[in-house]
Amino acid sequence: MKSFEFHIPTKIVFGEDKISLIGSYAQKYGKKLLLVYGKGSIKKNGVYDKVVKSLNDARINFIEHPGVKSNPVLSHVNEGIKLARKEKVEFILAVGGGSVIDESKAIAAGLCYDGDVWDFYNGTAKIKKALPVLTILTIPAAGSEMNGGTVLSNEQTRQKFGFINGHLFPKLSILDPTSTYTIPPDYTAYSAVDAIAHAAEGYFTHDNNWYPVQDKIVEALVKTIMESTEIILKKPDDYYGRATAMWAASLAWNGLTTCGLEGASVPNHMFAHVLGAFYDIAHGAALSIIIPAWMKYKCKDNTERFAAFSENVFGLGGPNPGKSAIEGIEALESWFKKIGSPVSFEDSGIPEGDIEEMSSSVLELADLWGIKEYSKDDVKDILLLCI
Amino acid sequence: MKSFEFHIPTKIVFGEDKISLIGSYAQKYGKKLLLVYGKGSIKKNGVYDKVVKSLNDARINFIEHPGVKSNPVLSHVNEGIKLARKEKVEFILAVGGGSVIDESKAIAAGLCYDGDVWDFYNGTAKIKKALPVLTILTIPAAGSEMNGGTVLSNEQTRQKFGFINGHLFPKLSILDPTSTYTIPPDYTAYSAVDAIAHAAEGYFTHDNNWYPVQDKIVEALVKTIMESTEIILKKPDDYYGRATAMWAASLAWNGLTTCGLEGASVPNHMFAHVLGAFYDIAHGAALSIIIPAWMKYKCKDNTERFAAFSENVFGLGGPNPGKSAIEGIEALESWFKKIGSPVSFEDSGIPEGDIEEMSSSVLELADLWGIKEYSKDDVKDILLLCI
């Protein structure tokens, strides 16, 4: 097991009716905040009104920065930085899903930096300081509410880059499962795919040494996310189902499943980021296309690991690990289809002809993230399996 | 799922050779610390020398407070408070297992309080402030390195009381698995029992609603602790075995396994604390006596839960939950015996005649901890099953 640091300074406040506490929690961080949110779903489901009332009751001033896209973009981050700087906000409140939180982190870091915030994403600068970020999570999936990660797309360069930095952990995240009741079925499915991908990336890429704590927690989370997703697709306001899906998604990407793993990397996210940058499809949808293809490609080199997944998650063990491994991959792919998430380029209308250009972009990201084992042929072969 | 807060401010630094970093980490907290440790095992295994060298290199002054007992006692805590006050230390460094860390937390809180530190343990006062505590863990089991709990024995009243307070989280804990190589087999076994008990208390006492994240993580941790313990009892310097046991023990009692559980309580610890207060036996040994007895007593009321444990941890499922439940309890009891931890009063030389007095003490602790469901007859019956 390799050495690791594990430190999650974020305070999680989980439960029904906790959103209205935001004002009292926020008082500790200043008197004026930037309120960041997306396309307005929080105005339809009542979350916005609760937040505004709580902030007003606590006499906290706020400036709004709405309109975050589901793949957040650099230009909008820069608008947020400009606004926040002009208004002299002291901290940021993100209300939404991973995109809103990721953009808020970018603004929080950008406000403490004189250069271009994209420098942090392309690796030419490192965050030394950031304003405090508080979050109210309304779409569980990304795990950004409980980690130091952020992902951003640059429209000009067609790049979608992400990184992790300790200064970006939210100070506080409020998770109210009832605020997720109105997430539509497609995004409920994408959320599940994303959380499964987060949990399992390290499981399939570590050096195959003995990691029973991490591996068993991954299996537990994947099974749990599948079970809870099936429940909430049938009954969107099932409290236990939503609460379980929400908490499992946070745990899937907060460091718990990967700490100590030698060799772990995130190849599926690498591919999915490129799909997201090229076609602006939902991140979970990109992942459900990539994951089965990547698994089929990698299965031959790492059969025992895929067979373990198959047995421990789907109960598809047996005397032949190769057969068991393939059955597990097919079971996962079938499950993605069942919940309505795409599993091919065809499903999502992605043109086959862009594979060459996508491959170059994947390799560029691989270089940035230090993922060294993929040749251009490997990348193309995996993308061809997505058709 | 009930509402919860989850917040672990402790920074974990995990890995070989991390102990020598303590000086540089400690500089942030002041120039003078109280170095708390036990009966001197850290002088035999080289940990003490590493700590002293690192503190000297970082020019941090320290006053020593050695001699912490394995059930730490109030009188020794008071000596530590007196010494630390006289020497005007700014923070505490605990080097040892749960007892050393628990005593260090008591001293850290006592130094910021004018009254008797026992007030915190008997519930008549609440901690508002404490000096920073850093830890170097050398005996994994208690989880105190990653939680806000502390347990202390009062020799005069024969009480062993514990509680949790957010001010008591260590700021930093260094976990070097190689420092645990020299733990003898009996204490390696007791550590395993304690960690299993921590993981599983909530599992068996929650309201039987749907908690797949928590329950599956518990099953994962219990299986992992059993597997790693078997490895290290055969080969005490197996790095992966020790590292896995160490990390699993921290995760077993840091809030992860119990957050959101309605109705969860810690009856086995309640009994074990009384055994510890009466006979000064190792905490893990007390637990391995109590757990099978408690399980046999409770099994009839909660058969499905015990059957699930039996199936998911020991693979002992079957069509008859009652039979499966008993088989699982017997399997756990056999495993405790196999690793050399006692499973009866007879094994530990505890006299049967004290049951009446022990029962009163258990009920007193039940009252303090708000565990309401045990009558004196229940308590006696469970203790009788320990004979």
- pLDDT (tens digit, 9 = 90+) per residue, A130-179? 999 999 999 999 999 999 999 999 999 988 899 999 999 999 999 999 99
Examine residue A6 and state whether it is found in any structural domain, yes or no.
Answer: no
pLDDT at A352 over 90: no
| Cβ pair B219:A221 closer than 8 A | no
Residues whose CB is less than 8 angstroms from the CB of residue A379 and which lie 6 or more positions away in sequence, other chains included: A271, A359, A362, A363, A366
Same domain, A210 and A270: yes
Q: If interface means Cβ-Cβ distance under 8 Å, which residues of chain B face chain A?
A: 1-16, 18, 177, 209-213, 216-217, 219-221, 223-224, 227-228, 239-240, 243-244, 247-248, 251, 256, 259-260
Q: Is there a contact between B213 and A227 if contact means CB atoms under 8 Å apart? A: no
pLDDT of residue A160: 87
Burial class (CB in 10 A: 0-12, 13-18, 19+), B317: middle
- Are both A108 and A211 inside the same structural domain? no
Query: Do B36 and B30 touch, CB atoms closer than 8 A?
Result: no
Task: Give the model confidence (pLDDT) of B111-127 as tens digits.
Answer: 999 999 999 999 999 99
Considering the domain architecture, whether residues A50 and A120 belong to the same structural domain is answered as yes
Distance of CA B159 to the CA centre of its chain: 17
Closest by CA to B40, choosing from B69, B14, B63, is: B69
Determine, for residues B14 and A7 on separate chains, whether the beta-carbon distance falls below 8 Å.
no
- B16 and B153 in a single domain? The answer is yes
Predicted pLDDT of residue B89: 98
CATH label of the domain that carries residue A253: 1.20.1090.10
CA-based nearest residue in chain A for residue B216: A220
Smallest Cα distance from B228 to chain A, Å? 9
Using the predicted structure, report yes or no on whether residue A351 has a pLDDT greater than 90.
Answer: no
Task: Please tell me the distance in Å from B354's CA to the nearest CA on chain A.
Answer: 40
Q: Is B32 in the same domain as B63?
A: yes
Residues in a beta bridge with B195:
none
Query: pLDDT digits over B320-337, tens only?
Result: 999 999 999 999 999 999
How far, in Å, CA of B114 to CA of A130, rounded? 39
- Distance, in Å, from the CA atom of B246 to the CA atom of B231, rounded to the nearest integer, reads 13
User: Taking residues A15-35, what's their average pLDDT?
Assistant: 98
A312: left (phi over 0), alpha (psi -120 to 50) or beta: alpha
For residue A215, is it within any domain?
yes
Q: Considering only alpha carbons, which residue of chain A is nearest residue B215?
A: A220
Using the beta-carbon criterion (under 8 Å), do A14 and B7 form an inter-chain contact? no
Question: How far A272 CA lies from chain B's nearest CA (Å)?
Answer: 27
Of B148, B179, B210, the last residue of a domain is: B179
Q: Of the candidates B11, B18, B243, which has its C-beta nearest A7's C-beta? A: B11
Closest Cβ–Cβ partner in A7, A213, A247 for B12: A7
The answer for residues whose C-beta is within 8 angstroms of residue B234's C-beta and 6 or more apart is: none
Q: Do B18 and A3 touch (CB under 8 A)?
A: yes
Range of the domain at B86: 11-179
Indicate the SS3 state at residue B37.
Answer: coil
* Chain A residues whose beta carbon lies within 8 Å of the beta carbon of residue B240: 1, 209-210
Domain boundary among A150, A179, A208: A179
- Regarding whether A154 and A95 lie in a shared domain, the answer is yes
Which of A228-237, A325-334, B114-123, B278-287 is predicted with the least confidence, judged by mean pLDDT?
B278-287
pLDDT in tens, B16-35: 999 999 999 999 999 999 99
Query: What are the backbone angles phi and psi of residue A63, rounded to the nearest 5°?
Result: -115, 135
Largest CA distance in chain A: 66
Please report whether residue A273 resides in a domain: yes
Average pLDDT over residues B81-96: 98
Structure tokens at B96: 């040892």
Residue where the block lists tokens 């950031």: A130
Whether residue B235 is found in the same domain as residue B138: no
Q: Which one of A216, A227, A230, A258 makes the best mutation probe of the B interface by having the most chain B beta carbons within 10 Å?
A: A216
Q: How many residues does chain A have?
A: 387
Reply yes or no on whether the pLDDT at A5 is more than 90: yes
Task: Summarize the confidence of residues A245-273 as an average pLDDT.
Answer: 97
Q: Are residues A275 and A147 in the same domain?
A: no
Residue B208 to chain A, least CA–CA distance (Å) = 12
Tokens of B385: 């099953």
Would the CA dihedral through A311, A252, A1, A272 be positive or negative?
A: positive
d(CA A206, CA A262): 6
In whole angstroms, give the CA distance from residue A207 to residue A218.
16
Strands A4-14 and B4-14: antiparallel
Query: Is residue A2 in some structural domain?
Result: no
Task: Using the predicted structure, report yes or no on whether residue B49 has a pLDDT greater than 90.
Answer: yes
Is there a contact between A212 and B219 if contact means CB atoms under 8 Å apart? no
Answer yes or no: is B54 within a domain. Answer: yes
B277: pLDDT strictly greater than 90? no
pLDDT of residue B353: 82
Q: Quickly state the pLDDT bin for B294 (edges 50, 70, 90).
A: very high
* Best of A2, A3, A21 to mutate (most B CBs within 10 Å, chain B): A3
Question: Is the domain of A169 the same as that of A189?
Answer: no
Give a yes or no: residue B83 inside a domain: yes
Shortest distance, CA A18 to any CA of chain B (angstroms): 9
A165 with A189, same domain: the answer is: no
**What mean pLDDT value characterizes chain B?**
96
The whole-number pLDDT of residue B352 equals 84
- CB contacts of B253 in chain A (<8 Å) are none
Indicate the helix (H) or strand (E) that contains B330. helix B321-338
In angstroms, the separation between the Cα of residue A6 and the nearest Cα of chain B is 5
- For chain B, give the percent of residues with pLDDT over 70: 100
C-alpha A129 chain-centroid distance? 23
Residues of chain B with Cβ-Cβ distance to A3 below 8 Å are 13-16, 18
Quote the CA–CA distance of A272 and A100 in Å, as a whole number: 19
Residues near A89 by beta carbon (within 8 Å), at least 6 away in sequence: A30, A32, A33, A34, A63, A131
| pLDDT at res. A69 | 94
Q: Do B36 and B174 reside in the same domain of the chain?
A: yes
Nearest-angstrom CA–CA distance, A252 and A246: 10
pLDDT exceeds 90 at position A320: yes
- A4 vs B14: CB contact, 8 Å cut-off? yes
Average pLDDT over residues A225-231: 98
Question: B14: helix, coil or strand?
Answer: strand
- Buried/exposed code over A279-298 (b: 16+ C-beta within 10 A; e: otherwise): bebbbbbbbbbbbbbbbbbb
Residue B280 — very low, low, confident or very high, per pLDDT cuts 50/70/90? Answer: confident
List, in order, residues 6 or more apart from B106 with CB less than 8 Å away: B72, B77, B80, B117, B120, B150, B152
pLDDT (mean) for A306-320? 97
What is d(CA B86, CA B103) in angstroms, rounded to the nearest whole number? Answer: 18
Task: Give the one of B217, B224, B256 whose C-beta lies nearest to A212's C-beta.
Answer: B224
A145 and A54 in a common domain: yes
| Substitution target from B210, B239, B313 for chain A, most A beta carbons within 10 A | B210
| Domain end marker among B179, B204, B230 | B179
Which residue type sits at A364?
E
The Cα-based distances of B112 to B31, B81, B82, B211 in angstroms read 18, 10, 12, 39
Q: Is B38 a residue whose pLDDT tops 90?
A: yes
Residue of chain B with shortest Cα separation from A17? B3
ipTM of the complex: 0.96
Is the CB of residue B209 less than 8 Å from the CB of residue B140? Answer: no
Is B7 in Cβ contact with A15 (below 8 Å)? no
Q: Bridge-partner residues for B39, per DSSP?
A: none
Mark out the alpha helices in B58-126 (DSSP H runs): 74-87, 98-110, 118-121
What CATH number is associated with residue A99? 3.40.50.1970
Looking at the 3D structure of chain B, how many domains does it have? Answer: 2
Comparing A334 with B369, the larger pLDDT belongs to A334
C-alpha gyration radius of chain B: 20
Task: Name the closest residue on chain A to residue B228, using Cα atoms.
Answer: A212
Q: How far off is chain A from B74, nearest CA to CA, in Å?
A: 32
B8 contacts A210? CB cut-off 8 A: no
Inside any domain, residue B3 = no
* Contact list, A220 vs chain B (CB under 8 Å): 212-213, 216-217, 219-220
